[in-house]
Amino acid sequence: MKTERLKQLNSLLVSSPNDPFLLYAIAKEYEGIGDMTTAAASYLGLCTHHPDYVGTYYHYAKLLEKQENYEEALRIYSTGMLVAKKVGDQHAHGELANAKLNLEYELD
């Protein structure tokens, strides 16, 4: 079931098909309506085509955690930390490091 917001975001995407913020918002919307498969594919696409869009990594890894794909979640957190460091986003780096540490702790 597509929401009105998802329809609006997709219509905006027509004029800006490569806008990482719109792609991110669409992924979040799919996650919000419970379509985890499409959300995960959208996050993966962002990581592939817009690797410097740091916000993707935290949310993608959290989704993977919900799906109990812990090994992949840890990998995504680590990748996100490297990207955050590369682009100089210390706040995102800290959030990713903390989330990764928490997951590692839960898995021990």
Sequence ranges of the domains in the chain: 4-107
Task: Check whether 2 has a pLDDT greater than 80.
Answer: no
pLDDT for the residue numbered 73: 98
pLDDT at 27: 96
pLDDT at 1 over 60: no
Candidates 3.10.20.30, 1.25.40.10, 3.30.1330.10, 1.10.760.10; correct CATH number of 4-107? 1.25.40.10
pTM score, two decimals?
0.91
CA distance 74 to 59: 12
CA distances from 103 to 19, 29, 49, 97 (A): 31, 24, 26, 10
Instruction: Report the alpha-carbon distance of residue 49 to residue 28 in Å, rounded.
Output: 17
Q: What is the pLDDT of residue 3?
A: 84
Q: Bigger pLDDT: 17 or 87?
A: 87
> Each residue of 44-102: pLDDT tens digit?
999 999 999 999 999 999 999 999 999 999 999 999 999 999 999 999 999 999 999 99
What's the confidence (pLDDT) of residue 94? 98
User: What mean pLDDT do residues 27-37 have?
Assistant: 95
